[in-house]
Structure 1
Amino acid sequence: MSICNVSLQVVPNVPGDKIYPVVDKVIEYIESTGVKHEVGPMETTMEGELDFLLEIIKKSQEICVEQGADRVISMVKIDYKKDGVTIDEKIKKYRK
């Protein structure tokens, strides 16, 4: 399968002062997988094989619940094409 991009935004249902610590745990997990990723102000974009990235999304939901969320709303965007797509090809011209 080709390389694709998947963006993930998690919104854990926890008290307001707990949102960032829960999201930080998800980002720590994503970093621990070794997958290429970029953290943005609203979502984290990952690059890799779709099946692997979907497993990361699944585990991210579990992490939110383990951290005290009784519900998690997630927004997922997938950019897939037959020949693959990379983060760099999409935003390289905007980097300084």
Structure 2
Amino acid sequence: MPNASIALQILPTVKNTRDSWKIIDKVIAFIKKSGVNFEVGPMETTMEGDLDKLLQIVNAAQKLAIEHGSSGVFSNVKIIYNPKGIASMKKKVTKHREK
């Protein structure tokens, strides 16, 4: 059972939207490679797992955006944490996605 869920929105400081999307795609690929459970949404990517690992991913995502051409990064981060465990993303959204 995960003990944390983090929603991350990365907003790279770049000259045009296409460059921004390229950087965001790199960050999402990094999250995927990390092995944590995640879901990409239109405005943010939500991850679940161990709080410390998720915070390491958030930290690395900032640096990755800079490495790929962003002069700075604005990030919106939302965190749910309970050391005893949290409800999974799947549990939270399944009833809303059933047809």
With structure 2 as the length reference, what TM-score do the two structures score? 0.90
* SS of the residue 2:24 aligns to: helix
Distance 2:83 2:70 in 1: 37
Partner of 1:93: 95
C-alpha deviations, 1:4-58, integer Å up to 9, x for none? 1100000000122201000000000000011000000000000000000000001
Instruction: Give the gaps of 5 or more residues in structure 1.
Output: none
Total equivalences in the alignment = 95
Unaligned runs of at least 5 residues, structure 2: none
Indicate the RMSD between aligned Cα atoms, in angstroms.
1.1
Deviation at 1:89, TM superposition (A): 2.1
Q: Distance in 2 between matches of 1:81 and 1:3?
A: 5
Q: Distance in 1 between matches of 2:45 and 2:5?
A: 10
| Number of the residue aligned with 2:23 | 22
Q: Identity of paired residues, percent?
A: 42
For residues 70 and 56 of structure 2, the distance between their equivalents in structure 1, rounded to whole angstroms, comes to: 19
Who is 2:4 aligned against?
4
What amino acid does structure 1 have at the position aligned with 2:9?
Q
1:71 aligns with 2:59: no
Q: What TM-score, normalized to structure 1?
A: 0.93
Letter in 2 for 1:25: K
Rounded Cα–Cα distance in structure 2 between residues aligned with 1:51 and 1:90 = 22
